[in-house]
């Protein structure tokens, strides 16, 4: 198995340590992934535990059980913290790279100040979550590194005034719940440094390629995602992708030091640059071709959803190859303006799949809902939909985590 896929864990291991965790990307001004906010279920039996101390312990336990590297890679983890967790020093069980988010209902007093001071001295950074503009936070500002502002509950004048008022502190401002391209640009103009929301999964595409080109690119990404590198199949796809072929030959010729004649044979060029380098180049190219101007985070999300659908196929007696393509199309359908006729006639999807993509409730739509609920940390919906499909929540969570690790392994070379 190639090195880039070795970190994907077995299905049995995934279920063995299965807990419930979702992550939401935080992007920088260049649209690169800066970090992830991690959302954990507070317990096994009591999903919405009212005991603050018990909830805090579950949060730490889940983070440690998963392993922070498997959840965020090299990105910065953001974890919500209760007052009990902070006062007991439990965040020290987490890597010092973790940003500890102080919830808006935390009481600020001398005990909390002391705890925050000690955590900062150990290298941890603090964030104010859902900042409410209140004066009670002022004594803490010397220890705060991030201020998160909800874009849904604030106005532009309020946000501009806030950034101006706090400009003398060494702070990074995070715009939360940024849902589309227009809001992302507005947040940029207002001076925010980091951005959290679902805008990255809704890229703006000006115009649409021919459907035959779209189909080929879907299938090309599917082929690139396979653990076994099939040079024959890759070469066949390359013949229909002139821009990637050009990049491949250019890269191969630059590496072919001492060769008198330029390389024009695709198989030879592939052998020259190697599997991992080619995957890196091809996935980067597919990002711009399929996902507009968005970041690699977009393509990773596409791959993760497709892989989740594929992994769930045996549990639901469905075709895994068909569900992989279905998962990809589910993310990119609106971006590429695919109509029901396109889906049925050109992409050759079965009526049940087309119906699900058009919003009709069936098992395929429920499968997409499972992934979306897990990704957003909507545990109530996850429980409900899993029951409708006759699946255990632990199984769903394990498949989601396995798909995440798999997609991260692929994008590590992109």
Condensed to tens digits (0 to 9), the pLDDT of residues 8-57 reads 333 444 443 345 677 888 999 988 889 988 877 654 443 444 454 555 56
Query: How many Å apart are CA 24 and CA 37, to the nearest integer?
Result: 5
What's the token pair of residue 122?
Answer: 């150990």
- Separation between Cα atoms, residue 38 and residue 25, nearest integer Å: 9
Q: What is the pTM of this model?
A: 0.60
What's the CA gap between 279 and 299, in Å, rounded?
13
Pick the CATH number of 3-201 from 3.50.50.60, 3.20.20.450, 3.30.70.240, 3.30.70.260: 3.20.20.450
Express each pLDDT in 330-371 by its tens digit: 887 766 667 777 777 666 678 888 889 888 889 999 999 999
Among 95, 24, 74, 77, which Cα is nearest to 412's?
Answer: 74
SS3 196: strand
Model pLDDT for residues 200-253, shown as the tens digit of each residue? 554 334 345 555 666 677 778 777 777 788 888 888 877 777 767 766 777 776
CATH 3.20.20.450 domain locations along the chain: 3-201
Residues recorded for the chain: 414
Rg (CA), the chain: 23
């Amino acid at each position: 198995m190639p090195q880039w896929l070795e970190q994907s864990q077995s299905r049995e291991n995934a279920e063995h340590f299965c807990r419930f965790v979702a992550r939401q990307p935080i992007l920088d001004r260049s649209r690169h992934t800066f970090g992830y906010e991690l959302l954990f279920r507070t317990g096994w039996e009591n999903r919405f535990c009212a005991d603050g101390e018990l909830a805090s312990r579950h949060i730490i336990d889940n983070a440690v059980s998963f392993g922070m590297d498997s959840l965020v890679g090299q990105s910065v983890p953001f974890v919500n913290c209760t007052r009990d967790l902070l006062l007991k020093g439990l965040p020290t069980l987490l890597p010092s790279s973790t940003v500890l988010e102080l919830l808006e209902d935390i009481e600020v007093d001398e005990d909390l100040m002391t705890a925050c001071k000690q955590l900062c001295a150990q290298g941890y950074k603090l964030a104010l979550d859902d900042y409410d503009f209140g004066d009670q936070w002022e004594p803490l500002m010397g220890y705060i590194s991030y201020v998160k502002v909800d874009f849904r509950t604030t106005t532009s004048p309020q946000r501009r005034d806030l950034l101006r008022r706090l400009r003398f502190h060494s702070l990074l401002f995070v715009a939360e719940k940024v849902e589309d391209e227009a809001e992302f640009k507005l947040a940029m103009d207002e001076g925010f440094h980091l951005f959290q929301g679902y805008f990255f999964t809704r890229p703006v595409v000006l115009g649409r390629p021919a459907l035959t080109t779209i189909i080929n690119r879907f299938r090309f990404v599917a082929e690139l995602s396979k653990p076994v590198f099939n040079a024959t199949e890759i070469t066949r796809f390359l013949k229909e992708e002139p821009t990637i072929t050009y990049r491949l030959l250019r890269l191969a010729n630059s590496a072919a030091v001492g060769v008198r004649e330029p390389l024009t044979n695709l198989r030879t060029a592939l052998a020259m640059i190697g599997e991992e380098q080619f995957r890196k180049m091809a996935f980067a190219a597919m990002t711009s071709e399929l996902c507009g101007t968005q970041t690699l985070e977009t393509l990773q999300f596409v791959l993760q959803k497709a892989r989740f659908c594929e992994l769930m196929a045996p549990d639901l007696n469905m075709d895994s190859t068909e569900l992989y393509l279905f998962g990809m199309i589910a993310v990119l359908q609106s971006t590429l303006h695919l109509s029901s006729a396109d889906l049925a006639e050109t992409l050759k999807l079965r009526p049940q799949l087309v119906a699900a993509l058009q919003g009709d409730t069936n098992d395929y739509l429920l499968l997409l809902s499972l992934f979306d609920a897990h990704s957003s940390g909507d545990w109530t919906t996850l429980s409900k939909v899993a029951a409708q499909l006759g699946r255990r929540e632990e199984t769903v969570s394990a498949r989601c985590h396995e798909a995440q690790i798999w997609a991260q392994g692929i994008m590590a070379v992109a």
